[in-house]
Amino acid sequence: MRAVDLILKKREGHALTKKEIVYLVNDYTQGKIPDYQMAAFCMAVFFQGMAKEEIVNLTMAMVNSGEKMDLANLPGLKVDKHSTGGVADSTTLILAPLVAAAGVPVAKMSGRGLGHTGGTLDKLESIPGFSTALLKDDFLKQVEKINLAIAGQSKDLVPVDRKMYGLRDVTGTVDSLPLIAASIMSKKIAAGADKIVLDVKYGRGAFLKTRETALKLGEIMVEIGEKVSRETIAIITNMNQPLGMAVGNALEVKEALLVLQNKKRGLLRDLCLYLGTNMLILVNRVRNFKEGYHLLEELLENGKALEKFAQMVSEQGGNPQVINDFSLLPQAKNQYVLKASRTGYLGKLDALILGQTAMLLGAGRSTKESSIDLAVGLEIHVPFAESIKKGDPLLTIHYNQQEKLAVVLKQLATAIEIVEFPPVKEPLLGARITKAGTELLF
Ligand code: URA
């Protein structure tokens, strides 16, 4: 077999066989196929797409490119959750302990932030002492002991994805739905859970810009899950506005803790309850949606989810006092309160620009190698579409570098707009895709 023939075959719009896909993935993993040929192949896929069977074969070839996590010794069905990435999205910090507190084991492997979107590992590392670098055995033992662990993904899991993603990033082939679907699903399948809930985001702050594209990606991934016996539900959600009210690592931990303390309502809490209920349904922990939702609400109200978070922090070397003492989190030296320039309604709260502004402050990475400042970021005080009076606090900028303030303020002026009349609110939930089909939620 020759890589060039497979590139040509795909370029002409033909489907590759399983054997051909396995050859491409294996030989690329081992360095026998050079980057330029894999780049050409990705570009051919970008233009020609892939049939369902090819995507499944690509996904499984990627899974088999490295180690797989074996969760079989943990009791019961295991469920994982993945978000395609957004702004002020600290759902994993809330959802993982919440579902674990409901008695369902959560063995979660997470990633770091890149660009304007945050990553769970960075957020957790703002808790003093917290380690996300767990050895495989320790990770599994912890899940066995407390039903919960969140750690960085092992480098040996789907190594070809890292190689391919790096290549796609510089060859204009990231936004190909078959390649995205195989990339995400291969990592979830290799991570070992029996069932998967996906939060597929669309909008200004997401990498997919429209609900239609998010729907297509969700449908492909649910089908891959079905084909490889890992039942998957995809929830399509809106990311035009930030999900929560904090953007930045320690600030997002604080916000997640407020939700876990049952002191904070809003979209972030709503989405955690919705995704969590879907997770409980998938593993048959509850009989229906209502039962699941009530159970999770109760675990927020009675402090059990917060307690589970504290147990995880303690097991992973962090100070569990953080759950009630936010002064233990890194604090920026300076705060600047941006006030409303007029009376009206918050008519624009642009997730992308807010994410980019937090990145400019140092909260996010422009490249995988950049270092980040865990303390800095933005705290939004008024939700989208709410009324606001002239002079009311709109947002607090937490910053360490004085010289950045002017440019941050200039950027924020393009992210926020106060309008005369209440704007139309867009629903958070766009669709729910299961093996039975797609249910549009608005
Ligand atoms: N997220 C992934 O993990 N892979 C992609 O290809 C795109 C987004």
The answer to whether the CB of 103 falls within 8 A of the CB of 143 is no
Specify the residue with its C-alpha closest to ligand 1, atom 5.
180
Q: Choose which residue among 183, 196, 200, 224 to substitute to test ligand 1 binding: the one with the highest number of ligand atoms within 8 A of its C-beta.
A: 183
Catalytic annotation, pick one of 78, 82, 201, 211 = 82
Whether 368 has a pLDDT exceeding 80, the answer reads no
pLDDT value at residue 112:
85
The answer to whether the CB of 195 falls within 8 A of the CB of 230 is yes
Q: Choose which residue among 110, 184, 199 to substitute to test ligand 1 binding: the one with the highest number of ligand atoms within 8 A of its C-beta.
A: 184
Whether 422 has a pLDDT exceeding 80, the answer reads yes
Specify the residue with its C-alpha closest to ligand 1, atom 3.
184
Residue 426 DSSP label = P
**Per-residue model confidence as pLDDT tens digits over 282-339:** 999 999 999 999 999 999 999 999 999 999 999 999 999 999 999 999 999 999 999 9
The reply to whether ligand 1 has any atom less than 6 angstroms from the CB of 29 is no
Q: Which of 366 and 322 is assigned the larger pLDDT?
A: 322
Q: How far is the CA of 183 from the centre of ligand 1 (A)?
A: 6
Q: What average pLDDT does the segment 167-177 reach?
A: 93
- What are the CA-CA distances from residue 200 to residues 13, 221, 237 (Å)? 28, 10, 6
pLDDT value at residue 219:
98
Q: How far is the CA of 107 from the centre of ligand 1 (A)?
A: 20
Whether 145 has a pLDDT exceeding 90, the answer reads yes
The answer to whether the CB of 179 falls within 8 A of the CB of 46 is yes
pLDDT value at residue 434:
98
Specify the residue with its C-alpha closest to ligand 1, atom 2.
184
User: Where residue 148 falls among pLDDT bands split at 50, 70, 90?
Assistant: very high
Give the nearest ligand 1 atom to 187 CA.
3
Q: Choose which residue among 110, 170, 176, 180 to substitute to test ligand 1 binding: the one with the highest number of ligand atoms within 8 A of its C-beta.
A: 180
Catalytic site includes residue 294: no
The reply to whether ligand 1 has any atom less than 6 angstroms from the CB of 184 is yes
**Per-residue model confidence as pLDDT tens digits over 24-66:** 999 999 999 999 999 999 999 999 999 999 999 999 999 999 9
Cβ-Cβ contacts under 8 Å for 150 (sequence gap 6 or more): 92, 96, 106, 108, 109, 110, 120, 121, 124, 132, 312, 316
This prediction's pTM: 0.96
Q: What percent of the chain has pLDDT over 90?
A: 94
Tell me, what amino acid is at 381? H
Q: How far is the CA of 323 from the centre of ligand 1 (A)?
A: 32
pLDDT value at residue 11:
98
Give the nearest ligand 1 atom to 207 CA.
8
Among residues 381, 91, 85, which one has the least CA distance to residue 239? 85
Give the nearest ligand 1 atom to 183 CA.
4
pLDDT value at residue 62:
98
pLDDT value at residue 154:
87
Q: Tell me which of 68-82, 113-127, 235-249, 260-274 is least confident.
A: 113-127
Query: What angle (nearest 5°) sits at the alpha carbon of residue 195, between those of residues 189 and 26?
Result: 10
Whether 363 has a pLDDT exceeding 90, the answer reads yes
Catalytic annotation, pick one of 183, 254, 264, 308 = 183
Angle between helical axes of 159-169 and 35-48 (0-180°, round to 10)? 70
Specify the residue with its C-alpha closest to ligand 1, atom 7.
180
Q: How far is the CA of 238 from the centre of ligand 1 (A)?
A: 18
**Per-residue model confidence as pLDDT tens digits over 184-220:** 999 999 999 999 999 999 999 999 999 999 999 999 9
**Per-residue model confidence as pLDDT tens digits over 210-222:** 999 999 999 999 9
The answer to whether the CB of 376 falls within 8 A of the CB of 396 is no
Give the nearest ligand 1 atom to 168 CA.
6
pLDDT value at residue 115:
80
Rounded to whole angstroms, how far apart are CA atoms 105 and 77?
A: 8
The reply to whether ligand 1 has any atom less than 6 angstroms from the CB of 167 is no
Cβ-Cβ contacts under 8 Å for 279 (sequence gap 6 or more): 79, 81, 95, 99, 104, 195, 197
The reply to whether ligand 1 has any atom less than 6 angstroms from the CB of 183 is yes
Mean pLDDT of the chain: 96
**Per-residue model confidence as pLDDT tens digits over 91-142:** 999 999 999 999 999 999 998 877 888 899 999 999 999 999 999 999 999 9
Give the nearest ligand 1 atom to 180 CA.
6
H or E element: which one contains 109? strand 106-110
Q: How far is the CA of 180 from the centre of ligand 1 (A)?
A: 5
- What are the CA-CA distances from residue 125 to residues 6, 62, 81, 93 (Å)? 44, 29, 20, 12
The reply to whether ligand 1 has any atom less than 6 angstroms from the CB of 79 is no
Q: What percent of the chain has pLDDT over 70?
A: 100
Among residues 228, 253, 243, which one has the least CA distance to residue 59? 228
Rounded to whole angstroms, how far apart are CA atoms 423 and 385?
A: 6
Residue 302 DSSP label = T
Specify the residue with its C-alpha closest to ligand 1, atom 6.
180
Q: Which of 225 and 169 is assigned the larger pLDDT?
A: 225
Q: How far is the CA of 84 from the centre of ligand 1 (A)?
A: 7
pLDDT value at residue 371:
87
pLDDT value at residue 209:
95
pLDDT value at residue 243:
97
Q: Choose which residue among 62, 81, 161 to substitute to test ligand 1 binding: the one with the highest number of ligand atoms within 8 A of its C-beta.
A: 161
Catalytic annotation, pick one of 161, 199, 350, 373 = 161
pLDDT value at residue 101:
98
Residue 75 DSSP label = S
The reply to whether ligand 1 has any atom less than 6 angstroms from the CB of 180 is yes
The answer to whether the CB of 116 falls within 8 A of the CB of 352 is yes
The reply to whether ligand 1 has any atom less than 6 angstroms from the CB of 83 is no
Rounded to whole angstroms, how far apart are CA atoms 291 and 280?
A: 10
User: Where residue 369 falls among pLDDT bands split at 50, 70, 90?
Assistant: confident
Catalytic site includes residue 183: yes
